[in-house]
Structure 1
Amino acid sequence: MTDEQLLDGAIEPQRNRRLFGHREAETYLARSYNSGKGHHAILLEGAAGIGKATLAFRFANHILHFPHAGDAPDHLIEPDHDAPLTRQIIAGASHDLLHLKRPIDQKTGKLRTAITVEEVRRAGHFLSQTSGTGNWRIVIVDSADDLNRSAANAILKILEEPPKNAMFLLISHTPGRLLPTIRSRCLPLRLRPLAPDDLIAALSALGLSVEGQDMERVTALAGGSVAEALKLLNYGGLDIIDAYDQALQSSSAEARLVMHKLADTLSKRENETIFAFLIGHVDGDIKLRARNAALSGDLDLAERLAGLSSRIASDTAEADAYNLDRRQLVLDLLSRLRSTLQPQPHTA
């Protein structure tokens, strides 16, 4: 994980010694590997920021320490940062582990928007080489959602005829968007969002201690995701949500002031993370409102909200692709939502 991907306050998954809330999944992986009947490709599914990548590196570390499955314990070992093999994994210098992720664009110095076919070819070359230690060769795809079409097809070809002693650990936040043929060749392992106690413990392990009402809000809004909790606490996410609610609930004059202030803040280049956070929050809020409207029998509002959700997704993708003005995007988004939520005049 690059610095650009790593949230303030987070620990890179390959460095993270602690994993919370997934003991059942850990036990399953350990026992499956120990039995000698483990699958060559495992799809770790679940919401972003709940520990999927940390579990993948934890499992990879376990396998590489016990290359003979029958010698492995029935529980995943704790990563020992003093162990040479673990130090190699942390440094990205292991000859038996490849972390496949979005590459850096050499021209702009920024992350590319997708994992490219060239990266997958690098994985193919990595797997074709004989391990110098006779160990497993493990590829962590982080995340499989980022594979572009050509890269996805290239991964599929490898999964169809995997080399001996090769294992793929694919991470996916939205597995429904993956090629069905990729999903069919993987063993799915669904990870649930963290329970409030596990989320609080994970934040405490990162040195974040939040008490009282703020912690109640964080656990309610984070959806069991450490990443979302970090955005709420370290990126001003709680204030952003307050401003968003105020923009929807205030009178027109006051709402305009709040909306312009919010748009000015989110349009700054250094606020890219919190901009994406707001877009995600708005999308979730609209879908919740649409569902509630449908359940209450207001099908017209539900339909208008569903259409707005699609429009926002399209406008956001276009703004990202063409580097359009995010300030205007935020203003348009909030204005449309306010208009959509207004009672519609009845026609005779």
Structure 2
Amino acid sequence: MLERIAGNEELKSSIRRMLEGRRLTHSVLLVGEAGLGAGFAARCVAADYLYPQGGAPAEALLRGECCRAVAKAGKRDSGQIETGIVREAISVTGMGSGGRYLVGQVTAMRSEIFNTSLSAEGRAVLLYHVERMNEESANALLKVMEEPPEGVLFLLTADSLAGVLPTIRSRCISFAVAPVSPEDCARYCTAQGVGAKDAALYSALFDGHIGTVLAAARDEARREQVDRALALAKAAAARDSYAAAVLLAAYEKDKVGASALLADFRAVAAAGLRGSSHSPVEGETARKALGAADAAMQQIGAQVNPKIVLSVLAAKFRTF
């Protein structure tokens, strides 16, 4: 299943050698910014670890059809494992505010891997976005990572290495998940059923981030948001602050939506700065648009009223 990962030949080669020699460390951390597919890569490694011969269980694991550790915020004893198709793998994704890990999830996972014996090559635990762990949930995880049961492989993902607590980092072997070229990304996504035109456009705009491209191509709401970001970039190229104000007005009371649109507008501007023909802006206009998008996103993140932020942003379009 490692071959399902696009690019990243060094990562695949290192993991493959470890698997073939049964020398894979019990804790692997895959680091890659959002949209690069670190979670998918983790599932590929888990599938090859548990099911070297492939087959239906391996395919189900790639789709994420495994057990899940769940819990309720504020209730430490509420953790449990929801059974999935793949019994040998457990996934843990933060369920608290902002995707924060709950201690109940970690303790439920820990009890499951110590108390359950299954007839498989081993067990795999997939922990997504461990940069969202606080000290309490990290300490609960460390207790099992320090002395794991025989045959258990921990596969952790994070957007950045710096965001992972040092106590977790020190117990893992880390690999970086790198973006592929826009051309390779487009070929990969086309093979996954994305139309060639959309694959080329989104791969150029999102700079080879396969997960982001697939999400944009497969979700109608996401596609519409990218279209609005492109329309905003066209307004920037034309220095049309009125068109920008009309488009942005729909987000004056929608902080989350405004942030998402600005993130896509930023991606379009960055693509233009790289010289992509798929972006409506280029050169100095692209640079100014990128800076304006960054400033607006920071202000919204700092709880400034979105209506004010977007109004100021639209006015800047005259100077692009």
Give the Cα separation in 1 of the matches to 2:209 and 2:238: 30
Please state how far the C-alpha of 1:95 moved relative to its aligned partner. Answer: 3.4
Question: Is there any run of 5+ residues in structure 2 with no aligned partner, and where?
Answer: 67-83, 273-286
Deviation at 1:227, TM superposition (A): 2.9
Alignment of 1:6-85 (within 5 A): 18-66=4-52, 79-81=54-56
The superposition leaves residues 48-91 of structure 1 with CA deviations (integer Å, 9 ceiling, x where unpaired) of 2233222222221222235xxxxxxxxxx5x4227798699735
Tell me if the contact between 1:45 and 1:175 (Cα under 8 Å) persists in the aligned partners: yes
8 Å CA contact 1:263–1:331 kept in 2: the answer is: no
- State the one-letter code of the partner of 1:225: H
Is 1:100 aligned to 2:92, yes or no? yes
Please tell me whether the aligned partners of residues 46 and 124 of structure 2 are also in contact (alpha carbons under 8 angstroms). Answer: yes
Q: State whether residues 206 and 271 of structure 2, in contact with CA within 8 Å, keep that contact through their aligned partners in structure 1.
A: no
Moved more, 260-269 or 34-43: 260-269
Q: Report the Cα offset of residue 130 of structure 1.
A: 4.2
SS of the equivalent of 1:56 reads: helix
The match for 1:292 is: none
Aligned residues: 284
Amino acid at match of 1:96: E
Query: How big is the shift at 1:100?
Result: 0.6
Post-superposition shift, 1:180?
Answer: 2.0
Once the two structures are superposed, residues 205-244 of structure 1 have per-residue CA deviations (whole angstroms, 9 ceiling, x without a partner) of 3321233xx6554332112112322455442244222233
Alignment equivalent of 1:225, drawn from 209, 218, 222: 209
Q: Which of 97, 102, 105 is 1:119 aligned to?
A: 105
1:311–1:185: structure 2 CA closer, same or farther, 3 Å change rule?
Answer: farther
Cα distance change, pair 223–83 in 1 and its aligned pair in 2 (3 A): closer
Q: Is the 8 A contact 1:42 1:169 kept in 2?
A: yes
Compute the TM-score of the two structures, normalised by the length of structure 2: 0.70
Q: 1:44 to 1:330 in 2, by over 3 A?
A: farther
Gap change, CA 1:198 and 1:131, over 3 Å in 2: farther
Task: State which of 280, 283, 295 in structure 1 corresponds to 2:263.
Answer: 280
* TM score, norm. by length of structure 1: 0.65
The answer to whether the Cα contact below 8 Å between 1:143 and 1:171 also exists between their aligned partners in 2 is yes
Q: Name whichever of 18-27 and 91-100 sits farther off.
A: 18-27
* Counterpart residue number, 1:315: 300
CA distance in structure 1 between the partners assigned to 2:226 and 2:63 by the alignment: 38
Judge conservation of contact 1:47–1:173 (CA < 8 Å) in 2: yes
Paired residue secondary structure (1:159): helix
Q: Judging changes above 3 Å, is the alpha-carbon distance between structure 1 residues 185 and 210 closer, same or farther for their aligned structure 2 residues?
A: same
Matched, 1:242 2:227: no
Alpha-carbon contact 1:145-1:177 (below 8 Å) kept = yes
Stretch of structure 1 that moved more, 329-338 or 35-44: 329-338
3-state SS in 1 of match to 2:230: helix
More moved, 116-125 vs 148-157:
148-157
Structure 1 unaligned regions, length at least 5: 1-13, 67-76, 106-110, 290-300, 320-327, 344-348
Local SS of the residue matching 1:177: coil
Aligned residue type for 1:332: V
Residue equivalent to 1:262: 248
Cα deviation for residue 42 of structure 1 reads 0.6
Q: Distance in 2 between matches of 1:87 and 1:260?
A: 42
Q: Which residue number in structure 2 is paired with residue 335 of structure 1?
A: 312
Cα deviation digits, residues 154-199 of structure 1 (max 9, x gap): 2233333333322210011222211122112111111110223331
> Aligned ranges for residues 93-172 of structure 1 at < 5 Å?
93-103=85-95, 113-133=99-119, 135-172=121-158
Shift of 1:334: 5.8
Deviation at 1:288, TM superposition (A): 10
Greater mean alpha carbon deviation, residues 165-174 or residues 81-90:
81-90
CA–CA separation in structure 1 for the residues paired with 2:243 and 2:59 = 57
SS in 2 for 1:154: helix
Looking at structure 1, the residues matched to 213 and 303 of structure 2 have their Cα atoms a distance apart, in angstroms, of: 28
- RMSD over aligned Cα atoms: 4.2
- The answer for the alignment partner of 1:191 in structure 2 is 177
- Superposition deviation, residue 43 in structure 1: 0.7
Query: What is the CA-CA distance between 1:146 and the residue it aligns to?
Result: 3.1
Report deviation, 1:41: 0.8
Change (3 A) 1:87 1:40: closer
| Amino acid of the structure 2 residue aligned with 1:118 | G
